[in-house]
């Protein structure tokens, strides 16, 4: 099996292929630090698709070049954990110098581009160079969707394969399908929150937050909800903090003009105090979504964790990332900035999820082909050669 380096990990690895945040038992050490646990979902899921017997980290922030020489001899390839790296502000630190010295294949494992709210995406020469180095070192570079593929084509990188995200395939079950239960039987619902937002992502912050608030309240009136946070410090303090920290966190939310005017009313405050969930351990989220009849909301990877476990999810799209994922997998989705009302019944339609089922299966095949053509030792099933049942599976 392979000896693998990871570039830009997100958490510590335990039990071979499981991920949790660094020093997760010491809650107070990172309680003021914003880290998106969704990045750890991707890291964890990537490891679950690969066969390897040694895993290391490729340093790019403060590397020692003599260590890079040693890593070249001790490892077979590098993978870049899938995330939102292709945007105008990305700082790759010393990546170019490190990769030139390392001279190992660098696998782009579901990386993505972020479109600005206004204007054209402008990439730095540093970003273009890193992407070309990666593409030149492997048979193909794996991206999350058509928008990212086009961005790479526009800078001359054509060996691109659309593979979505490893989180979708973490269970590694090519026969996974979403089969909707009757909506009347749905009781336990997970709502993925993204309270923190930037104007660089969302075109209308007021609409984003007021719709977010109203959605949570509507679902809470209808179902037994769990509000699934993913890393904002205030939400972490409300879950893990001391009494003083919980009071401090709620006051910080109330002091934020956006939050107090467009998001946090008395009902939301009560839900935050009673229904909020957060964990620094990826498996805790997986255990949670398996208890839900449905998971829906703003979090890209939180929703995808549910879908990967066969739990229905509806996406609420608000930027190019969320739209790109919904398009890649044909996930039923609602545009937060549309003028129409959101009605859950409009999306609780098996024909919509059958489109997802077909797209998911086809993207599973693309992920399997991607790993195979890049000579990555992996666990995914070759569905084209598995019992000759491809057409029946996707029908």
**DSSP string over 264-280:** --HHHHHHHHHHEE--S
- Average pLDDT over every residue of 155-176: 97
Total number of domains constituting the chain: 2
Task: Please check whether residue 324 is in contact with residue 349, taking contact to mean a CB–CB distance below 8 angstroms.
Answer: no
386 pLDDT band (50/70/90 cuts)? low
Are residues 161 and 247 part of one domain? no
pLDDT > 50? residue 391: no
- For residue range 204-222, list pLDDT tens digits in order: 999 999 999 999 999 999 9
Are residues 323 and 196 part of one domain? yes
pLDDT > 50? residue 395: no
Q: How far apart are CA 311 and CA 318, in angstroms?
A: 22
Nearest to 288 by CA among 302, 299, 274: 302
Q: How far apart are CA 142 and CA 314, in angstroms?
A: 25
From 117-121, 165-169, 270-274, the region with the lowest mean pLDDT: 117-121
Nearest to 286 by CA among 276, 274, 273, 277: 277
Are residues 369 and 319 part of one domain? no
Q: How far apart are CA 383 and CA 117, in angstroms?
A: 39
Q: How far apart are CA 74 and CA 77, in angstroms?
A: 10
378 part of a folded domain: no
Residue 118: its pLDDT value, please? 86
390 part of a folded domain: no
Q: How far apart are CA 92 and CA 125, in angstroms?
A: 11
Q: Classify residue 110 as left (phi > 0), alpha (psi -120 to 50) or beta.
A: left
Nearest to 179 by CA among 327, 395, 353: 353
Are residues 113 and 240 part of one domain? no
201 pLDDT band (50/70/90 cuts)? confident
385 pLDDT band (50/70/90 cuts)? confident
Rg, the chain, Cα only = 21
Are residues 141 and 160 part of one domain? yes
Q: What residues make up the domain containing 191?
A: 183-348
Are residues 252 and 154 part of one domain? no
Report how far apart the first and last C-alpha atoms of the chain are (Å, whole number). 35
- For residue range 115-142, list pLDDT tens digits in order: 999 889 999 999 999 999 999 999 999 9
Are residues 187 and 132 part of one domain? no
Q: Tell me the CA distances in angstroms from 110 to 146, 165, 269, 308, 371, one per residue in order.
A: 12, 5, 37, 16, 11
394 pLDDT band (50/70/90 cuts)? very low
pLDDT > 60? residue 392: no
Q: Tell me the CA distances in angstroms from 380 to 145, 171, 377, one per residue in order.
A: 20, 10, 9
Q: How far apart are CA 140 and CA 374, in angstroms?
A: 7
Are residues 153 and 98 part of one domain? yes
387 part of a folded domain: no
- Average pLDDT over every residue of 377-393: 71
Are residues 282 and 247 part of one domain? yes
52 part of a folded domain: yes
366 part of a folded domain: yes
Q: Which residue is it, tokens 């057409």?
A: 391
- For residue range 244-259, list pLDDT tens digits in order: 999 999 999 999 999 9
Are residues 190 and 316 part of one domain? yes
Q: How far apart are CA 181 and CA 222, in angstroms?
A: 16
Residue 388: its pLDDT value, please? 47
Are residues 277 and 224 part of one domain? yes
383 part of a folded domain: no
pTM of structure = 0.96
For the chain, the average pLDDT equals 95
Q: Which secondary structure element, helix H or strand E, spans residue 162, and what is its range? A: strand 160-162
- For residue range 223-248, list pLDDT tens digits in order: 999 999 999 999 999 999 999 999 99
Strands (E), the chain: 2-7, 12-14, 18-20, 52-58, 77-81, 106-111, 141-143, 160-162, 188-192, 224-228, 276-277, 294-297, 313-317, 333-335
DSSP string across 81-114 = E-S--BSTT---TTHHHHHHHH---EEEEEE-B-
62 C-beta neighbours (distance < 10 Å), count: 7
Residue 195: its pLDDT value, please? 95
Q: In percent, how much of the chain has pLDDT > 70? A: 97
Nearest to 79 by CA among 62, 63, 102: 102
Question: Between 394 and 329, whose confidence is greater?
Answer: 329
Provide the CATH number for the domain around residue 319. 3.40.50
- For residue range 65-91, list pLDDT tens digits in order: 999 999 999 999 999 999 999 999 999
Task: Please check whether residue 74 is in contact with residue 56, taking contact to mean a CB–CB distance below 8 angstroms.
Answer: yes
- Average pLDDT over every residue of 258-284: 98
Q: How far apart are CA 296 and CA 311, in angstroms?
A: 10
Strands (E), 254-383: 276-277, 294-297, 313-317, 333-335
pLDDT > 50? residue 393: no
Task: Please check whether residue 37 is in contact with residue 285, taking contact to mean a CB–CB distance below 8 angstroms.
Answer: yes
Task: Please check whether residue 305 is in contact with residue 292, taking contact to mean a CB–CB distance below 8 angstroms.
Answer: no
Q: How far apart are CA 212 and CA 216, in angstroms?
A: 6
Task: Please check whether residue 202 is in contact with residue 209, taking contact to mean a CB–CB distance below 8 angstroms.
Answer: no
Are residues 188 and 71 part of one domain? no
393 part of a folded domain: no
pLDDT > 80? residue 389: no
- Average pLDDT over every residue of 354-367: 98
340 part of a folded domain: yes
């Amino acid at each position: 099996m392979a000896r693998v380096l990871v570039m830009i990990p997100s958490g510590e690895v335990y039990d071979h292929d499981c991920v949790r945040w660094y020093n997760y038992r010491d809650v107070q050490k990172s309680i003021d630090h914003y880290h998106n646990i969704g990045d750890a979902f991707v890291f964890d899921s990537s490891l679950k698709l690969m066969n390897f017997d040694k895993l290391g980290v490729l340093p790019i922030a403060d590397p020692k070049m003599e260590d890079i020489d040693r890593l070249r001899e001790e490892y077979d390839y590098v993978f870049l954990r899938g995330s939102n790296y292709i945007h105008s502000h990305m700082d790759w630190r010393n990546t170019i110098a490190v990769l030139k010295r390392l001279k190992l294949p660098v696998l782009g494992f579901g990386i993505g581009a972020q479109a600005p709210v206004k204007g054209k995406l402008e990439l730095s020469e540093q970003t273009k160079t890193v992407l070309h180095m990666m593409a030149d070192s492997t048979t193909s570079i794996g991206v999350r969707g058509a928008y990212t593929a086009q961005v790479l084509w526009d800078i001359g990188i054509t060996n691109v394969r659309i593979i979505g995200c490893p989180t979708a395939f973490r269970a590694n079950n090519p026969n996974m399908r979403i089969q909707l239960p009757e909506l009347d039987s749905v009781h336990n619902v997970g709502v993925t929150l993204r309270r923190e937002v930037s104007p660089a992502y969302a075109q209308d912050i007021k609409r984003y937050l007021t719709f977010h608030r109203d959605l949570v309240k509507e679902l809470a009136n209808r179902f037994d909800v769990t509000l699934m946070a993913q890393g904002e410090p205030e939400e972490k303090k409300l879950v893990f903090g001391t009494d003083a920290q919980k009071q401090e966190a709620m006051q910080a939310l109330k002091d934020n003009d956006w939050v107090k005017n467009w998001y946090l009313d008395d009902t939301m405050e009560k839900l935050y105090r009673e229904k909020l969930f957060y964990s620094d351990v990826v498996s805790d989220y997986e255990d949670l979504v398996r208890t839900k009849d449905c998971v829906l909301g703003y979090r890209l990877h939180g929703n995808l964790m549910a879908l990967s476990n066969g739990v229905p999810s509806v996406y609420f799209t608000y930027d190019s990332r969320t739209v790109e994922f919904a398009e890649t997998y044909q996930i039923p989705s609602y545009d937060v900035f549309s003028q129409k009302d959101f009605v859950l019944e409009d999306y609780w339609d098996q024909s919509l999820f059958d489109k997802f089922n077909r797209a998911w299966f086809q993207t599973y095949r693309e992920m399997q082909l991607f790993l195979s053509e890049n000579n990555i030792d992996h666990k995914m099933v070759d569905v084209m050669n598995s019992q000759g049942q491809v057409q029946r599976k996707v029908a």
